[in-house]
Amino acid sequence: MSKDDEVPRQCAQEQARTDPRFADEQRSQVAQLRAQIDAELEAMQQGLGGLASGTARHRIISAKLRCVDHLTVHLAGHIGAEAATTTSCQAYMRVFNAEEQEASRDE
């Protein structure tokens, strides 16, 4: 497995935080996973407009996208694959549509 195919270290640490042995309720795990997906997408969106360029930018965005995928798979274990995919897609649309709306207001 190449370095780019590995799950980012932050995502591996996320697994420890969402381990069922440490959570009070499944709902709190789902809420935590959703919040982490939002945070990764927001970081990815910021990376698109950040100072990094070329290969560095691509690696950052790819790592964030892999982490979102990992979180979505983990979320699917709680709410099902279809609901998890829908949740991640809705988060993506929310984050990236908000950016487009801000850009159009600035013009």
Angle CA 80–61–54, to nearest 5: 160
Give the CA angle between residues 29, 40, 65 to the nearest 5°.
110
Query: pLDDT tens per residue, the chain (107 residues)?
Result: 444 445 555 564 454 455 555 555 567 889 999 999 999 998 888 877 766 566 777 888 889 999 999 999 999 999 999 999 999 999 999 998 876 666 666 66
Which helix (H) or strand (E) segment holds residue 103: the answer is: helix 81-106
Name the residue ranges covered by the structural domains of the chain. Answer: 3-106
Helices 54-79, 9-17: axis angle to 10 degrees equals 20
Please give the DSSP secondary-structure letter assigned to residue 107: -
Rg (CA), the chain: 15
